Amino acid sequence: MSEMAATRDGYGQALLELADNPKVVVLEADLGKSTKSLHFKNKYPARTISCGIGEQNMLLTAAGLASSGYIPFASTFAIFTERAFEQMRNGVARPDLAVHLCGSHGGTHTGTDGSSAQSIEDLAIFRTLPNVVVMHPSDYISTLELTKQLPELNKPSYMRTARNNTPVMYRGRESEIVIGKGIILRQGTDVAIIACGVLVSESMKAAELLAEKGINATVVDMHTLKPLDGDLIDSLVSQCGAIVTAEDHNVIGGLGGAVAEHLVTNKYAPLEMVGVADRFGESGQSDEMLEVMGLNSKYIEQAAQRAIARKS
Amino acid sequence: MTLSISELEEFARKCRVEIVKMVYRAQAGHPGGSLSEIDLISALYATRMRVRPQQPKWEDRDRFILSKGHASPGMYAVLAEMGFIEHEDLHSYRVLGGKCQGHVDMKWCPGVDFSAGSLGMGLSFGLGCAIAARLDNSQRRTFVMIGDGELQEGSVWEAAMAAAHHEVGNLKVILDRNRIQNDDFCEEQMRMFDIPAKWRAFGWEVKEIDGHNMEDVMSGLDFLEATNNKPAILIAHTIKGAGVSFMENNPSFHGAAPNDEQFAQAMLELGEVIA
């Protein structure tokens, strides 16, 4: 059994490792135990600001701190970041203040809390904001590394993490993880699967299923949705000629949308999108949700076959 | 800066003239709330704010957050009078590429520390500035001006609760209680009942003044500066459109420009001779 861990724990660990920088401050909205900022709070209470259950105030308090030279990391559930969307838009993105917002428990993978907690639109809405960098890492190590790079970014950011465990893939490969650069996890020439978050490991499984049928797939971890690694996508089009995207997010506006926008204005290849089919989820275990929403390796494999069939 | 009451009144009068001129030139904007707030902002900047107009990003400056950012002409007039910007810059109000954007914007105008335009946001932003000052062990203060219609935004009360919880005593709020909002009188749009009692219940120090009586304004600012452990709010009772008779208490001039005839009358009333 491979090592398993939750990306939210990578975020929590990163905050601890960033604490040597006295300008790093943490803001919570009564979900620090869940988003994992609690470790920072326990060790550095003076630099942790409890905002109670008030996400709108949290985002703008963070903006005020950023305007005064601090590097604020604010977190809550992905779904509740959406409540403060206009604060993120007008108070953070517009003045280009380097507030780092983390939404944990994203996607249907969140599971039994049900549809009210399963953010399937966070990546789409934050991607529409000028200045904002949008990330959705796939494993503990990449979440840790990407979070640690944020103070140097000097731009506002949104990162989605997940509640439940996913395979740890990047131990010993930390240097490969850079904001804005997709990572090729597996090389093939028949089809390229571009995935983010919890569906990266599902895409690797799909590539195994395809290999059993003699189909060689490339798998890319596109942990940064914005800015999108367009050079990498262009090279995938040249090498594979067919693209699949995979995300635990609405097919509208997320990774699939971002890749589609790139393809139609650059080198083109047929695209199949695996994602939530513009509907809400329900209570269920993570693996059950990926099955019922049509997101697991089986569906990714089928999408790959469809994309290949569409090659001209 | 030490100014006498009559000098402060003259400072505010000049700003009133600029407010009306800006809105008249642009044929758009928000004169009513600019005229109601102007005595307060004038006195605040002219006598209290620790700022360096030639060094607007000086780290230890006091912050002024205009949360009711539509009332930008008032702030621009004061910034020009203080020397942050030139009086010429006031001609750029609502003009493409201008420092004086429709709503005050920190990316565009020297001396502006908050990009406003959406109500209910400035108090939280000011709270962040005030917490930062405390973390820095700095004596700088954060003053936030909010409007009364703005109190209908729930996020104001998130910030009010958080400021008291964290005992952010270096956060000082001025409420421009002009009783009119965009569509109508506040009393018609959404009754707010006992506003001072609400703030006291949230854990704030509260004082009420006449926001157009300069002696009252100065004592109100003394109150804001004197408080320490608790956040403080100065509730300034004002008249929307104050100083221009036909704009006073007239909801139509929340967001409308005077025509030629009205402009001439306003200049006359404000003691300004136009060539």
**A178 inside domain:** no
Q: Are A29 and A130 part of one and the same domain?
A: yes
**A28 inside domain:** yes
**Rounded CA gap, A223 and A5, in Å?**
17
**A177 inside domain:** no
**Rounded CA gap, B130 and B139, in Å?**
10
Interface test with B, best of A25, A27, A68, A71 (most B CBs within 10 A): A68
Q: Are A273 and A187 part of one and the same domain?
A: yes
Residue A233's closest CA among A201, A192, A283?
A192
Listed residues A167, A194, A222: the one ending a domain: A167
Q: Are A111 and A198 part of one and the same domain?
A: no
Q: To the nearest whole angstrom, how far is the Cα of A113 from the nearest Cα of chain B?
A: 26
Q: Span A215-223, mean pLDDT?
A: 98
**Rounded CA gap, B78 and A9, in Å?**
49
Banded pLDDT at A312 (limits 50, 70, 90): confident
**Rounded CA gap, A82 and B56, in Å?**
34
Put simply, the answer to whether B158 touches A90 (Cβ < 8 Å) is no
**B186 inside domain:** yes
**A148 inside domain:** yes
**B237 inside domain:** yes
Interface test with B, best of A23, A51, A61 (most B CBs within 10 A): A61
- Which active-site residues of A does the annotation give? 55
CATH value at residue A237: 3.40.50.920
**B274 pLDDT exceeds 90?**
no
Q: Span A204-228, mean pLDDT?
A: 98
**A209 inside domain:** yes
Question: Where in the sequence is the domain holding A206, given as residue range(s)?
Answer: 183-309
Q: Are A131 and A188 part of one and the same domain?
A: no
Q: Are A190 and A148 part of one and the same domain?
A: no
| Angle (deg, nearest 10), helices A7-18 and A140-153 | 40
Q: Are A149 and A264 part of one and the same domain?
A: no
Report the pLDDT value the prediction gives residue B227, as an integer from 0 to 100: 75
Q: Are A69 and A119 part of one and the same domain?
A: yes
pLDDT tens, residue by residue, A51-81: 999 999 999 999 999 999 999 999 999 999 9
In Å, how far are A115, B29, B130, B211, B217 from B222, measured between CA atoms? 52, 32, 19, 14, 9
Put simply, the answer to whether A67 touches B155 (Cβ < 8 Å) is no
Rama region for A154: left / alpha / beta (φ>0; ψ in -120 to 50; rest): left
**B162 inside domain:** yes
Q: Are A9 and A149 part of one and the same domain?
A: yes
**B130 inside domain:** yes
**B127 inside domain:** yes
Environment class of A264 (CB within 10 Å of its CB; exposed 0-12, middle 13-18, buried 19+): exposed
**Rounded CA gap, A156 and A178, in Å?**
16
Banded pLDDT at B228 (limits 50, 70, 90): confident
Report the pLDDT value the prediction gives residue B229, as an integer from 0 to 100: 87
Q: What is the mean pLDDT of chain A?
A: 97
**A172 inside domain:** no
A43-46's contacts with Cβ under 8 Å and 24+ in sequence apart are A43/A16, A43/A19, A44/A19, A46/B135
Contact A203, A243 (CB under 8 A): no
Report the pLDDT value the prediction gives residue A50, as an integer from 0 to 100: 98
Question: Where in the sequence is the domain holding B194, given as residue range(s)?
Answer: 5-269
Number of domains in chain B: 1
Report the pLDDT value the prediction gives residue B120, as an integer from 0 to 100: 97
Contact A208, A306 (CB under 8 A): no
What is the pairing mode between strands A24-28 and A71-77? parallel
Bridge partners of B65, per DSSP, are B144
**Rounded CA gap, A204 and A167, in Å?**
11
**A187 inside domain:** yes
Which amino acid, one-letter code, is at B50?
R
For residue B144, the chain A residue with the least C-alpha distance is: A64
- Report angle CA A156, A158, A163 to the nearest 5 degrees: 150
Listed residues A112, A141, A167: the one ending a domain: A167
Contacts of B126 in chain A (CB under 8 A): 64
Put simply, the answer to whether B158 touches A57 (Cβ < 8 Å) is yes
Contacts of B136 in chain A (CB under 8 A): 68-69
- Report angle CA A22, A48, A32 to the nearest 5 degrees: 130
CATH value at residue A107: 3.40.50.970
**A35 pLDDT exceeds 70?**
yes
Q: Are A222 and A282 part of one and the same domain?
A: yes
What does chain A look like in DSSP terms, one character per residue?
A: ---EEEHHHHHHHHHHHHTTSTTEEEEESS-HHHHTTHHHHHH-GGGEEE--S-HHHHHHHHHHHHHTT-EEEEEEEHHHHGGGHHIIIIIIITTT---EEEEESBSGGG-TT-GGG-BSSHHHHHHTSTT-EEE---SHHHHHHHHHHHHHH-S-EEEE--SSEEE---TT-GGG--TT--EEEE--SSEEEEE-TTHHHHHHHHHHHHHHTT--EEEEE--EEES--HHHHHHHHHHHS-EEEEEEEETTTSHHHHHHHHHHHSS---EEEEEE-SS---S--HHHHHHHTT-SHHHHHHHHHHHHHT--
Q: Are A194 and A51 part of one and the same domain?
A: no
**A1 pLDDT exceeds 60?**
no
pLDDT tens, residue by residue, B180-204: 999 999 999 999 999 999 999 999 9
**Rounded CA gap, B173 and B221, in Å?**
10
Q: Are A247 and A117 part of one and the same domain?
A: no
Banded pLDDT at B78 (limits 50, 70, 90): very high
Q: Are A155 and A15 part of one and the same domain?
A: yes
Q: Which of A56, A67, A86 sits opposite B158 (nearest CB)?
A: A56
Number of domains in chain A: 2
CATH value at residue B191: 3.40.50.970
Interface test with A, best of B125, B134, B156 (most A CBs within 10 A): B125
**A220 inside domain:** yes
Q: Span B237-253, mean pLDDT?
A: 97
Contact A84, B125 (CB under 8 A): no
**B26 inside domain:** yes
For residue B129, the chain A residue with the least C-alpha distance is: A64
**B183 inside domain:** yes
Listed residues A167, A201, A234: the one ending a domain: A167
Which amino acid, one-letter code, is at B103?
H
Put simply, the answer to whether A61 touches B154 (Cβ < 8 Å) is no
**B1 pLDDT exceeds 70?**
no
**B75 inside domain:** yes
Q: Which pTM value belongs to this model?
A: 0.96
Q: Which of A57, A68, A69 sits opposite B159 (nearest CB)?
A: A57
